[in-house]
Amino acid sequence: MSEIAKLKVGKKEIDLPIKKGSVGPSVIDVSKLYSETDHFTFDPGFTSTGSCESSITFIDGDKGECYYRGYPMDVLAEKSNFLEVAYLLWYGELPSKTEWNEFSDAIKNHTMVHEQLNTFFNGFRRGAHPMAIMVAVVAALSAFYPDSINISDPAQRRISARRMVAKIPTLAAMAFKYSLGQPFVYPDNSLNYSENFMKMCFAVPAEPYKINKTFAKALDKIFILHADHEQNASTSTVRLAASSGANPFASISTGFTSLWGPLHGGANEAALNMLKEIGDVKNIPEYIKKAKDKNDPFKLMGFGHRVYKNYDPRAKVMQKTCHDVLSEIGNNDNKLLQVAKELEKIALNDEYFIEKKLYPNIDFYSGITLNAMGFPTTMFTVLFGLARTVGWLAHWKEMMVDKSARIGRPRQLYTGAEPREFKDLSKR
């Protein structure tokens, strides 16, 4: 017998079923609330609202832990690789050797994009933000692959997901090359996923390209950390877009749109720009003061989180990865890292941040790392979206086979004008 929650609305008392998950908070199922009480729930920002049932990722915000299909994310970052984590997120288990060979070969077979797509970029100015290109070109894939947009066909769902995981790095590298005015570099299937991406970004036809194994390993780890994170804003956007039956390419492009915001995936770009603006540890107190000032819209970018009320476990791995990359280039006294570490130290001992449980999040150190690897700030959110594509697709796949899934259509608390008569202009 499942537990129930009793709710009294006026003179009426109703029973609402409580559903328990495998770990984490239980939920009160309010789906019959409106029909039984003529009231909606009200939860702007969804701070207390579960939008779906999912078995992909679990975050323990109080402990600062995150699990992909039950495996601690930081363990996967150390012991696995990004494409294997993509398999785990999609299929729920780590692949056997046979499953891994089939999956990685399949992804390799789809890394190239239609040559016609090359001309697509010419419609943008060279200085266009690469996220503007990604939002457009990912949706445009639906025009190139009409054979994989029927979401009711499992085979088409499978090929469209594999095409996106394979092609989005190629498109991201093309967006980067286009901004530099350099020729596009074709995928090289003799390389692993992250090495291939590095080569497509940094190789030039004029000379042989040598893979920096430390950078490629660091990037693969960064992709794992960014792969999925429960029902965050961009994942919820993808779920809502896909709930109407929109094709997978168009649905995933909405993920890039939402991720672009500075409060979400755009925070890595904003955090690095903030560290550059602070410039020196002596300026930190002034910025801490601004962050605490209710009348100042300034926030410490890369700090705070809706779910983590403890240190974001990804930030810890990211800080170590940052040291690995800076050591590789012999830049251990990196000014931005010094500012970041001093800023973190001061903030974590400040009453305001302690009371509001604001800790560094994944975006705080990622920018310094990516900057040191040669990526411009405008590419940071593109890399976040490249990695999160596997998470968005995991949720999309889960939703496509969820029998209870329906089109998402929230209600509202209406506070506008009450019904009234139209008046002719002559009478106004």
x/- track of binding to ligand SDX for residues 148-187 (CB under 6 A)? ----------------------------------------
Helix (H, G, I), strand (E, B) or coil at 17: strand
Whether the Cβ atoms of residue 288 and residue 346 lie closer than 8 Å to each other: yes
Task: Decide: is 303 part of the binding site for ligand SDX (CB under 6 A).
Answer: yes
Task: Decide: is 74 part of the binding site for ligand SDX (CB under 6 A).
Answer: no
Please give the span between the terminal C-alpha atoms of the chain, in angstroms, as a whole number. 62
Instruction: Compute how many residues bind ligand SDX; rule: CB under 6 A.
Output: 21
Residues of this chain, 348-407, that bind ligand SDX according to CB under 6 A: 356, 358, 361-363
Task: Decide: is 299 part of the binding site for ligand SDX (CB under 6 A).
Answer: yes
Task: Decide: is 305 part of the binding site for ligand SDX (CB under 6 A).
Answer: yes
Residues 6+ apart with CB under 8 A from 121: 133, 137, 174, 175, 178
Instruction: List b or e across 70-105, with b for residues whose CB sees 16 or more CB atoms inside 10 angstroms.
Output: eeebbebbeebbbbbbbbbbbeeeebeeeeeeebbe
Among 4, 143, 263, 354, binds ligand SDX (CB under 6 A): 263
Which residue, 50 or 95, is less far from ligand SDX as judged by CB? 50
Catalytic residue list contains 323: no
Among 134, 168, 172, 301, binds ligand SDX (CB under 6 A): 301
Residues 6+ apart with CB under 8 A from 102: none
Q: How far apart are CA 172 and CA 201, in angstroms?
A: 8
Q: How far apart are CA 254 and CA 290, in angstroms?
A: 33
From the candidates 229, 305, 312, 395, give the one annotated as an active-site residue: 305
From the CB of residue 14, how many other CB atoms can be counted at a distance below 10 Å?
15
From the candidates 220, 228, 363, 395, give the one annotated as an active-site residue: 363
Residues of this chain, 211-250, that bind ligand SDX according to CB under 6 A: 229, 232
Helix (H, G, I), strand (E, B) or coil at 57: strand
Residues of this chain, 40-69, that bind ligand SDX according to CB under 6 A: 45
Which residue, 35 or 349, is less far from ligand SDX as judged by CB? 349
Task: Decide: is 95 part of the binding site for ligand SDX (CB under 6 A).
Answer: no
Q: How far apart are CA 154 and CA 386, in angstroms?
A: 23
Q: Give strand pairing partners of 24.
A: none
Task: Decide: is 30 part of the binding site for ligand SDX (CB under 6 A).
Answer: no
Kindly state the smallest distance separating residue 223's Cβ from ligand SDX, in Å.
Answer: 12
Kindly state the smallest distance separating residue 128's Cβ from ligand SDX, in Å.
Answer: 23
Catalytic residue list contains 402: no
Strands lying side by side in the sheet with 65-68 = 57-60, 65-68, 71-72
Active site residues: 305, 363
Positions that interact with ligand SDX (CB under 6 A): 45, 229, 232, 263-264, 267, 291, 299-307, 356, 358, 361-363
